[in-house]
Structure 1
């Protein structure tokens, strides 16, 4: 890896379990890993898009033929031995591939209650559990004892499928390099239809309303609500490359109305050609 890649490539790393973004170079980060110093122990090179950050090695990570539709990635992750990644859910199906070292993965299904998700409005694209899986503090999170955990260790060359909206917690057992891709089903509407009709729907609803709450106190929110069907069309076209149907849009509109305790969408004067975007706020927090 180091011999093939430009070591001066700028990367972002996350610091600690409550993440802070720090800019560095790949060369300096690898030097910290080799030294196993304090900065390496509290840093994690996460979500580095190969096409943008490491284009020299993008061809080394071919997409499997059975990936229906790429949503995001491939991404590279590099972590020191012992790194603990918070338990969270992603809105996309996911393949995690080990390149070097080993990772322990815990999967908990998509039930929200035993995992105590962070409150709606939390930053980022993922939903994080409040529970520390290594030390769950059952007096604060008693329902966690009812969670079913699927456990595995990934060795180099192993690939794990993580379904969308399944809770997962990953720990590096060795200093490790891994790659992942976020994807969905082929076609214009298969992925959303799958989520809508599956046990993943409650977790999806929480994720979606978290994004609604992220936008609630912004000046554009009244216009978002006034043009919500258009907003949702553009949002899922961007996120999942899906064209959701009018009936599906109405389900989401009703979900928002119920959440905000509204009988109907407001009317706001907006003559712009395109509706305001529904933004995922705090993407650097993932």
Structure 2
């Protein structure tokens, strides 16, 4: 979800990465490590506000004891979100289903000999690239 971070007291370092750099980040659960992604960094002081758009990877580190307040809001239809995820940390429901379908498809390709897996895997990649071009 979109997020407005308000620093009330103390200071906090915030590092952000654009969703366009997702392929340059290693994802492990809900944590990420950057590789070649463009890093945006700032230090929030008391009274500062930072808008963090949905899909932006971010990490915060308190530089001194403080209080920060996050305000999250949804911009997709309510049924797009996992009802057990009040902070929007999980993927939208449709994206979760799509990723699960991809995992099942890849697992199914494992039933084929290597040269067939390669051929059909490349066809899947072409299809995904074609879909991605529709969004650019």
**Could you say which TM-score interval applies, normalised by the shorter chain?**
0.5 to 0.7
The structure with higher relative contact order (CA 8 Å, sep 6+) is: 2
Deviation for aligned residue 1:98? 0.6
* Structure 1 gap segments, 5+ residues each: 1-91, 132-142, 186-190, 193-232, 241-247, 264-286
Q: 1:152 to 1:234 in 2, by over 3 A?
A: closer
TM-score for both structures, normalised by structure 2: 0.58
Partner of 1:147: helix, strand, or coil?
coil
The answer for the alignment partner of 1:161 in structure 2 is 51
Query: How many angstroms apart in 1 are the aligned matches of 2:64 and 2:98?
Result: 47
Partner of 2:27: helix, strand, or coil?
coil
Query: How many angstroms apart in 2 are the aligned matches of 1:236 and 1:158?
Result: 29
The yes-or-no answer on 1:100 pairing with 2:9 is yes
RMSD: 3.1
The answer for the alignment partner of 2:102 in structure 1 is 258
The yes-or-no answer on 1:236 pairing with 2:126 is no
Q: Which one has a larger percent strand, Structure 1 or Structure 2?
A: 2
The yes-or-no answer on 1:114 pairing with 2:24 is yes
Query: How many angstroms apart in 2 are the aligned matches of 1:161 and 1:175?
Result: 21
Matched length: 99
TM-score for both structures, normalised by structure 1: 0.30
* Structure 2 gap segments, 5+ residues each: 87-92, 109-136
The answer for the alignment partner of 1:182 in structure 2 is 72
Q: 1:257 to 1:180 in 2, by over 3 A?
A: same
Deviation for aligned residue 1:174? 1.7
The answer for the alignment partner of 2:90 in structure 1 is none
Query: How many angstroms apart in 2 are the aligned matches of 1:98 and 1:149?
Result: 21
- The structure with the larger Rg is 1
Partner of 2:81: helix, strand, or coil?
helix
Query: How many angstroms apart in 1 are the aligned matches of 2:41 and 2:9?
Result: 19
Query: How many angstroms apart in 2 are the aligned matches of 1:176 and 1:252?
Result: 35
